[in-house]
Amino acid sequence: MLAQQHPSFASRLSDQLQRALALCAVHLPDAPQRVRAFLTPFADPPATGGFKAIPAAARALYGAVLAEHGEQAAARLLLAAMLLAVRDTLAGPRLAQLPPRVRAHQLRQLGRIASHDEAFLPFCRLDGDVFLKEFGLATLRLYAGASSVIDPRSGMGRSMLWKGGWLGLPGRALLFARAGGFKPYFEIHVNRLYQDEFNEEGRNECYRCCADLYELHPEALGMIAGSWFYDPVVEIISPHLAYLRTVPEEGGARALFVSHDEQAARNATATSEKRRALHAAGQYRPASWALVWPRAAQIARARRHGKDHQD
pLDDT at res. 309: 47
Say which amino acid occupies 191.
Answer: N
Q: Taking the domains of the chain in order of start, what are their residue ranges?
A: 2-140, 150-304
pLDDT at res. 4: 55
Q: Is the pLDDT reported for residue 10 higher than 80? A: no
Q: Which pairing describes strands 222-227 and 185-189: parallel, antiparallel, or unpaired?
A: parallel
- Which has the higher per-residue pLDDT, 307 or 170? 170
Q: Is the pLDDT reported for residue 252 higher than 70? A: yes
**pLDDT band, residue 6 (cuts 50/70/90):** low
Q: What is the pTM of this model?
A: 0.94
Answer whether 191's CB lies under 8 Å from 150's CB: no
- pLDDT for 266-304, tens place per residue? 999 999 999 999 999 999 999 999 999 999 999 999 999
pLDDT at res. 311: 39
pLDDT at res. 2: 53
Q: What percent of the chain has pLDDT over 70?
A: 96
Average pLDDT over residues 92-114: 97
